[in-house]
Amino acid sequence: MNSQLRQQGGADGTVGKALEVLDQVADKGRPVRFSELLAETSHPKATLYRLLQTLTNQGMLAYDEDRQTYAPGLRLVRLAHSAWRQSSLAPVARPYLTALAQEVGETIHLAQLDRGQVLYVDKMNAAEPIEMFSQAGKVGPGYCTGVGKAMMAFLDAGDRQDAINRQAYFAHTPNTLTTPDALAAELDRIKAEGVSYDREEHEPGIICIAAPILSSTGRVIGALSITTSTSRQSFDGLEQHRAALLRTAQDIAGAAESWQFPT
Amino acid sequence: MNSQLRQQGGADGTVGKALEVLDQVADKGRPVRFSELLAETSHPKATLYRLLQTLTNQGMLAYDEDRQTYAPGLRLVRLAHSAWRQSSLAPVARPYLTALAQEVGETIHLAQLDRGQVLYVDKMNAAEPIEMFSQAGKVGPGYCTGVGKAMMAFLDAGDRQDAINRQAYFAHTPNTLTTPDALAAELDRIKAEGVSYDREEHEPGIICIAAPILSSTGRVIGALSITTSTSRQSFDGLEQHRAALLRTAQDIAGAAESWQFPT
DNA sequence: TCAACAGGTTCCAAATAATGAAACTAGTTT
DNA sequence: AAACTAGTTTCATTATTTGGAACCTGTTGA
């Protein structure tokens, strides 16, 4: 998981390095020891040590004294709350998602693009109650999800290429697109058609139809998908929801654009 | 560095300053312009400018070109997801909260203490479906909420005093405790009794009973509350749930302690 | 009992990055 | 067209970060 090309442009200064370490801890997905981080980083011992100290005493990391491990800290949760509320997409889209979920009776995902990856910012299920952070904040691959492809398709040339380059192209299923060229061709098709599909490209048995949410200037704000499983619905069944999906995407775009924070 | 005493130990280095700016943006609760931030900060123009640039291009802030405003960025949402999942409390407590909510038919809050403030990490409502980030990640005052007082009461002397000093003591209602001394006395009572109450100290009409979640060594992990309104329930009604509340708090403590990440 | 070791912490001179006053640009108002 | 506002860039100065090495501290093994 390391050694390959740096995700985002080289760390800017000390802050960049600190955040890189923060990501490293977060990506582990479980509490980590100092030595474990040291083994994976290019920083010398003392440097890593001090970065961890700084982050810890800033509350960005939490140090468990008993187990001697680092984990992402509570301050992040507080900050994310603020980020979510202020985002001009998720809170605004809420009521539309609820309505769409009830109308089509399937699971709805709302996502945004973050460095070529899909970040789910909300989820609505007609039946079960939703799960909190356990769903929102989750990241997924861009190249093999409906929402990912929908968003990439409508990026402008430079950003699109950038996003294409960032993908991992792991063959999750036999249907996964595994080359930049195949993906680029698919994106062209999607842009022409206006919606994208996940044809069991990420998980066997899971299919979806997705549409981008575009600002009035054509900028990609996010994407919306209706997900189901092959056992519940056929592809044609999903196709039936196309109009509702596109309408909702437009409604959300409109609402997000005209929305202003109370002064 | 500037007039008033630094919130948390002086900003450590550049990273501290950057995170301070990040907090500043987040605390605004709405997108902010450069000049607005400049007016409130002690940093010179150029410095603030570069901090914002760094944070933005790290994805910690999002810059809206059209409106020329900064808001907390998506990377935070991703990181917080990780923080929430890894926290040894919230994900573990989930099933217990659900059970308790159904048993008592009232709203349950799960909180942790973050620098003397209450950070809600989960919420369960027997009736309505829960809200996502709009609830989890929210912060509240420590001195006038049931969960806040429950947690502070069981801190060790040093941390307790520290927490007492951090409170704002704003009189939200006639019942709010507005002096450190009054709070300290209340905390002693709570520690002796094992549960705390919010007697409309934060919001008129809202009452709750809360209990701390303590590790086997007595360290405060978090707190749990059953909240209701005076129109729905009397105080005696809440008192009836005391046993269930304490049992659940203990169950969660046990589960959190014995829980280990899969190796 | 002692030596070797591993994980973690501290030191300090050298290298590097942050600083901030001032100059500059672009857009608005008088 | 001059004055003003908001944002951006420059560059010599200054302060912070760096990282090799020494130093703890608890553990292992002989």
In CATH, what number is assigned to the domain containing residue B118? 3.30.450.40
Determine the length of chain B. Answer: 263
CB proximity B41–strand C (7 Å threshold): no
What are B99-118's pLDDT values in tens digits?
A: 999 899 999 999 999 889 99
CA gap B166, B185 in Å, rounded: 16
Q: At a CB cut-off of 8 Å and minimum separation 6, what does A32 contact?
A: A25, A69, A70, A71
For residues A106 and A125, state if they share a domain: yes
For residues A67 and A106, state if they share a domain: no
Q: What confidence category does residue A4 fall into, taking pLDDT thresholds of 50, 70 and 90?
A: very low
Q: What confidence category does residue B1 fall into, taking pLDDT thresholds of 50, 70 and 90?
A: very low
Q: B24-28 contacts: CB < 8 A, separation 24 or more?
A: B25/B61, B25/B70, B25/B71, B25/B72, B26/A78, B26/A79, B26/A82, B26/A83, B26/B72, B27/A82
Q: Tell me what pLDDT residue A84 has.
A: 85
Predicted confidence (pLDDT) at residue A9 exceeds the cutoff of 80:
no
What are B35-59's pLDDT values in tens digits?
A: 999 998 888 999 999 999 999 989 9
Residue with tokens 């994976």: A40
* Partners of B110 in the β-ladder: B122, B224
Residue with tokens 């092959």: A230
For residues A150 and A39, state if they share a domain: no
The fraction of chain B above a pLDDT of 90, given in percent, is: 61
Q: What confidence category does residue B7 fall into, taking pLDDT thresholds of 50, 70 and 90?
A: very low
- Look at residue B182 and tell me if it is in a domain: yes
Predicted confidence (pLDDT) at residue A72 exceeds the cutoff of 90:
yes
For residues A49 and A123, state if they share a domain: no
For residues B142 and B191, state if they share a domain: yes
Scanning chain B, the segments in alpha helix (DSSP H) are 13-28, 34-40, 45-57, 74-86, 90-104, 146-153, 157-166, 180-193, 235-239, 242-258
- Look at residue A3 and tell me if it is in a domain: no
Predicted confidence (pLDDT) at residue B8 exceeds the cutoff of 60:
no
Predicted confidence (pLDDT) at residue B128 exceeds the cutoff of 80:
no
Within 8 A of A95 by CB-CB distance, chain B residues are: none
For residues A124 and A226, state if they share a domain: yes
Tell me whether strands B196-199 and B206-214 are parallel, antiparallel or unpaired.
antiparallel
Predicted confidence (pLDDT) at residue A223 exceeds the cutoff of 50:
yes
- Look at residue B65 and tell me if it is in a domain: yes
For residues B229 and B210, state if they share a domain: yes
- Which tokens is A54 given? 């700084």
Question: Higher model confidence: residue B84 or residue B142?
Answer: B142
Q: Out of A64-73, A225-234, B126-135, B252-261, pick the least confident.
A: B126-135
Looking up residue A19, the CATH number of its domain turns out to be 1.10.10.10
CA gap A221, A256 in Å, rounded: 9
For residues B29 and B148, state if they share a domain: no
For residues A70 and A187, state if they share a domain: no
Predicted confidence (pLDDT) at residue B259 exceeds the cutoff of 90:
no
For residues A172 and A237, state if they share a domain: yes
Nucleotide nearest to A44 (CA to C1'): D19
Range of the domain at B208: 87-258
Instruction: Name residues 37-76 of chain B within 8 A of A (Cβ).
Output: 51, 53-55, 57-60, 62, 64, 71-76
Count of domains observed in chain A: 2
For residues A71 and A104, state if they share a domain: no
Q: Tell me what pLDDT residue B109 has.
A: 94
Tell me whether strands A107-114 and A220-229 are parallel, antiparallel or unpaired.
antiparallel
Determine the length of chain A. Answer: 263
For residues A197 and A93, state if they share a domain: yes
Choose the final residue of a domain: B21, B45, B77.
B77
**Minimal C-alpha gap between A26 and chain B (Å):** 6
Choose the final residue of a domain: A44, A77, A110.
A77
Predicted confidence (pLDDT) at residue B263 exceeds the cutoff of 80:
no
CB atoms within 10 A of CB B27: 13
Predicted confidence (pLDDT) at residue A134 exceeds the cutoff of 60:
no
pTM across the whole model: 0.85
Considering only residues 44-83 of chain A, list those whose CB is below 7 Å from strand C.
Answer: 45-46, 49-50, 68
Q: Tell me what pLDDT residue A260 has.
A: 55
Q: pLDDT averaged over chain B? A: 87
Choose the final residue of a domain: B32, B55, B77.
B77
Residue A17, CA distances (Å) to A48, B25, B124, B125, B242 in order:
9, 21, 38, 41, 48
CA gap A193, A236 in Å, rounded: 16
CB atoms within 10 A of CB A203: 13
CB proximity A39–strand C (7 Å threshold): no
